[in-house]
Amino acid sequence: MTSRKGSKQIRKLALLAYEKDLSRCIRVLQDQMAEWTRAEITVWDVEQSIHEFHDKIARSLYRSYAQSDPITAVAFGVAQGVITLDDVPEDVRERIQEIAKAINRE
Mean pLDDT confidence for 57-82 = 96
Mean pLDDT confidence for 6-17 = 93
The pLDDT assigned to 47 comes to 97
d(CA 36, CA 9): 41
Cα dihedral across residues 92, 94, 100, 102: positive or negative: negative
Burial class of 63 by CB neighbour count within 10 A (0 to 12, 13 to 18, 19+): exposed
The percentage of residues in the chain with a pLDDT greater than 70, rounded to a whole number, is: 97
pTM (2 d.p.): 0.87
d(CA 1, CA 47): 46
CA-based angle 51:49:65, to the nearest 5?
A: 70
